[in-house]
Amino acid sequence: MPRPLSATIHLESMQHNLQRARAAAPQAKIWAVVKANAYGHGLERGMRGFAQADGLALVETENAVRLRDSGWIKPILLLEGIFDASDVPLLAEHNINSAVHNIEQIKMLEYTRHYRPIDVHLKMNTGMNRLGFRPDDYAAAYKRLRAIPDVRHITHMTHFANADELEHPRLTIAEQVRRFRFGAGELPGERSLSNSGGVLHQAELGDALSNDWVRPGIMLYGGTPGGRSAQDYGLRPTMTLRSEIIGIQRIEAGDTVGYGSRFEATGPMTVGVVACGYADGYPRHAPHGTPVIVDGVRTTLVGRVSMDMMTVDLTPIANARVGSRVTLWGDGLPIDEVAQAAGTIGYELMCALAGRVRVLEGRMGTDG
C-alpha cells in the first residue's frame, strides 16, 4: 500500500472559480494563470480545469509549447516574456503571445526572424517596480515595437502591487490606474490590468477599472491575495491535502513532543502522528495551534513539523485511531487559514507540494 498521503484536485472547483471570475469581470476576456505547474495542481489539469478560459498564461516557454502539444488551441501568454532570442521563432511557430517589459526583449524581436506575425503585451511599471517600462518611457517603447513588421497586436499591460487593499497607504489601485492612463494615453490596443485582487474588487472599482483582459491566478485555485476569505467571494478549494494517523501517544503533564521539545503538555492528552512533513511541502515553520481536521473534527498541530511526520492533538476526538482521516487543507479547511497560521500565503503551500505526494482527482465531499 502507498503511504497514506495524497492531494486531491477538484476540477469542478476550478471550473466554478473560473465562472466566478467571469461573473466578477463580465466585460473582460480571461487569461487563466497556470504558472508554477498550475499552482501545484499540474499543468494538464490546469488546462482541463480552465478549458473555458479565453487563454492560459504562464512563464516558461517550454511549458507553453507543452500546452500546444497537449492540444490547447486558444491563446497562450508568456507573462515574463522571452529570455533569449532563440525563443522568438517559437512564439511564431506555436502562436504564443509574449510580454515585453524591457528594451532587450524589443531588440530580440527586432533582430530575429519571426516566420509569421506575433502578438505582444507591452508591460508598464506603474509602481510595482518589478518589470515594465516606466510611464514616461512607455510611448517610446510602443513606437519601437510598432515599427517591427511582424509584430501584430500590442496589448497594454500592468500589474497591481496592492490589489487586495484598495486604500493602501502608499500605492492604491487608483494611483496605478492613473499612471497607466498617463503612460498609455490614447495608444491603440487592448488593456490588461487586473490580477486576482483587481478582479475580486471589480464591483467596488466599477468603471474606474477597465479591462479587455484580466489575469486571475490564486482566486482560480480557491485562495485570495488577502483581505476577505475565499468563501466570502464564493470560491471553492481546488486542492485537498489528506493523510492519516499512523501512530498514537498518550502523554502526561510535563511531557514534551517533537524535535526541540518545544511543546509541553499541561495535562493528560492524546497525540496523533500524521504521515506528512516538510519534505511533502507542509510548512516546517507551522506553529502549535495550526488547524487540522481529524475524522471531521477540528483540532491543532502540536510540536515541530518533522521531515516526514507531524503531531496533532487528538484529545478532542474521542474515537481517534490509527487510520483516522486527516485533512491538512482544502475541503472543509481553507488553505488560506492554514497559511495564515503558518505565517505564509496559500500560494506557497500549493506551489510547494512535493513530487512524492500522490496526486488524485475527485470531487469535494469525497475521499478523492
Residue 280 inside a domain? The answer is yes
What is the average per-residue pLDDT within 24-38?
96
CA–CA distance, 323 with 245 (Å, rounded to integer): 5
CA distances from 358 to 41, 144, 184, 284 (A): 11, 49, 47, 20
Same structural domain for residues 22 and 111? yes
Given the residues 35, 39, 278, 347, the one annotated as active site: 35
Residue 207 inside a domain? The answer is yes
Domain holding 135: CATH number? 3.20.20.10
Buried b (16+ CB within 10 A) or exposed e, 312-345: bbbbebeebeeebebbbbbbebbbbebbbbbeeb
Q: Are residues 246 and 350 in the same domain?
A: yes
CATH code: domain of residue 277: 2.40.37.10
If asked whether residues 67 and 215 sit together in one domain, one would say: yes
Active-site residue among 143, 259, 282, 347?
259
- How much is the pLDDT for 274? 98
Q: Which is higher by pLDDT, 232 or 7?
A: 7
Q: Is residue 1 part of a domain?
A: no
What is the reported pLDDT for 206?
67
Percentage of the chain beyond pLDDT 90 is 87
The last residue of one of the domains, among 226, 261, 286, is 226
- Band (pLDDT 50/70/90 cuts) for residue 299 is very high
203, 226, 249 - which closes a domain: 226
Pair (32, 70) in one structural domain: yes
| Residues found in the chain | 368
Whether 292 and 327 have beta carbons less than 8 Å apart is answered as yes
Residue that terminates a domain, selected from 226, 256, 282: 226
Q: Are residues 68 and 172 in the same domain?
A: yes
Q: How many domains does the chain have?
A: 2
Q: Residue 169 has what pLDDT?
A: 82
Whether residues 43 and 128 share a domain: the answer is: yes
Region of poorest pLDDT, from 141-145, 159-163, 251-255: 159-163
pLDDT above 90 (res 180): yes
Domain coverage including residue 301: 239-361
User: Is residue 46 domain-shared with residue 139, that is, in the same domain?
Assistant: yes
Sign of CA dihedral 133, 137, 138, 143: negative
- Alpha-carbon distance of 75 to 54, in angstroms, equals 7
167, 33: one domain: yes
User: In angstroms, rounded to a whole number, what is the distance separating the alpha carbons of residues 257 and 309?
Assistant: 12
* 312 shares a domain with 276: yes
**Which of these ranges, 96-105, 106-115, 237-246, has the smallest mean pLDDT?**
106-115
How high is the pLDDT of residue 308?
98
Check whether residue 281 and residue 202 sit in a common domain.
no
The per-residue pLDDT for 202 is 77
Active site residue 35: yes
Query: Both 111 and 190 in a single domain?
Result: yes
Q: Is 278 a catalytic residue?
A: no
Confidence at 166, pLDDT banded by 50, 70, 90: confident
pTM: 0.95
Q: Is the pLDDT of residue 156 over 90?
A: yes
Same domain, 127 and 250: no
pLDDT at residue 367, as a whole number: 61
